[in-house]
Copies of this chain bind each other. A is one copy, B any other.
Amino acid sequence: MNTMLKLGPAGAFGALALSGLPAWAQEGPIKAPTVEQMAGMVDKGDTTWMLVSSVLVLMMAIPALALFYGGLVRTKNMLSVLMQVFMIVAVVAVVWVVYGYSMTFTGGGPFVGGLSKMFLAGVGTGTYAATFSNNVYIPEYAFVIFQMTFACITPGLIVGAFAERIKFWPLMLFSVLWVTAVYFPVAHMVWYWSGPDFLSDNTADAGYLWGMGALDFAGGTVVHINAGIAGLMGCLVIGKRVGLGKENMAPHSLTMTMIGASLLWVGWFGFNAGSNLEANGLAALAFINTFVATAAAALAWVLVEQFRHGRPSLLGAVTGAVAGLVAITPASGFATPMTSIILGLVTAPVCYIFVSYVKGKLKYDDSLDVFGVHCIGGIVGAIGTGIVAAPSLGGQGWVDYSVFPAVAGTFDMTAQVITQIKAVAVTLVWSGGVSFLLFKGIDMVFGLRPTADDERQGLDQTSHGESAYNL
């Protein structure tokens, strides 16, 4: 299995080794360095990049995601959506430092980490986290923060599936249980490993899917498929909105939705390029791939609309952009700008079909298309990653960290695609199953849905006692 050990692109590899330039570059890299040695392997440029990336990802959640969603609901529910996304960030941030980081990023098993770092025990200004290059480290707090922003935004994505008809506190409870039972384990499976300077000593010290060789540069499975399938379960358990199909449920402010989508695009560079953990040419590759895949997807969606309805819509443009961002997420560090464009062009129509037809046919009320965009787009991207990563297509391939120093691994596209599909399946089953049980359970115990009258009057007034606008 260790021959399959991989993560992180290899193409940039030679360059990296060179540009890393640790003081002792001369003597070659140090295996399993001590913390004192790590202190000398930190580049402030990387630290700055990780802190900035964290800022960008937080901005993706608040205000970006909140506005993207909020603009799509009716005025009477605007605040409920803003509130849900905002408080999920707050609650999960606390959970993350209490036990989330430990469950996700300590060893312990292939499926979930341990509790040794509960309350961030042992983490300090003088401890460091590994990157994907030998002998390159970042302050551990910076890593904790960056990963925290991912945990904070993911459950926020789910709320779009049952927007306009959910009770606040039961949703908060769900979010805590969901990150605990779904997000932390899945993130551990995909992203946990002991690092390039340590893995070769114990190649088993890694998460299940990581060890399996699944490639997910920035969280296509962990974030999007994970949240997307959970959303579907949610809207199935909760049921349709009162008046669906009868009343006009047009977005109350596409202006807000456009602001949200734009800031999502802007912030996503922290999400994808930040996931490289280093500010180098590979981060720049992830950045440009994210940029053009999104552009291509927005364009594709608008063209589909032009052909289907004779008119391109702003909502179509921004929805396409988000679909592109979702799809490129796992591939961003592996593809080339050109293959990224193709990935974007392919993803948009697929999501369009789910959003505009499948949903209507299957009659589930995924209010803001969390499943159609995030889960479907995530799946296309996750599987596509297995293709665009191929060195034969200019892709970055994978790095074999089972040897020290790490070397480029040999790429087998078929095998890789199969591995990707396995990873997708595991995520769908785990997240779909557990999410369904959580929704059902909470619904039975506390009830997830407000009364029809409250839903009619709107959640802003009935759940929060406020109005979004008093113009």
Contacts and interface: CB of A to CB of B under 8 A. Distances in A.
Interface of A: 11-12, 14-16, 18-19, 21, 23, 36, 39-40, 42-52, 54-56, 58-59, 62-63, 66-67, 70, 74-75, 78-79, 82-83, 86-87, 89-91, 93-94, 97, 119-120, 124-127, 139-142, 144-145, 148, 168-169, 248, 250-256, 258-259, 262-263, 265-266, 269-270, 273, 278-285, 287-288, 291-292, 294-296, 298-299, 302, 306, 309, 311-315, 317-318, 321, 336-338, 341, 396, 463-471
B66 A250 contact: no
A470 B295 contact: no
B464 A97 contact: no
Which DSSP category, helix, strand, loop or mixed, fits chain A's interface? helix
B86 A311 contact: no
Given A83-B312, A120-B338, A254-B466, A40 B21 contact: yes
Contacts of A36: 18
A205 to B, nearest CB: 24
Contacts of A338: 97, 119-120
Given A78-B255, A141-B288, A254-B466, 7 more contacts: A47-B279, A55-B270, A63-B263, A66-B258, A120-B337, A142-B284, A315-B466
A287 B42 contact: no
A262 B74 CA distance: 21
Contacts of A285: 125, 141
Instruction: Point out which of A47, A283, A314 has the most chain B C-beta atoms below 10 A from its C-beta.
Output: A314
A280 to B, nearest CB: 6
Nearest to A341: B94
Nearest to A141: B284
A274 to B, nearest CB: 9
A265 B281 CA distance: 28
Given A279-B47, A314-B83, A254 B97 contact: no
29 contacts: A18-B40, A42-B280, A43-B45, A44-B49, A46-B48, A47-B49, A47-B279, A47-B280, A48-B52, A51-B284, A54-B269, A59-B262, A59-B263, A78-B255, A83-B317, A87-B312, A87-B317, A90-B299, A90-B317, A90-B321, A91-B299, A119-B338, A120-B337, A124-B281, A125-B396, A140-B281, A148-B291, A313-B464, A313-B466
B82 A255 contact: yes
A469 B288 contact: no
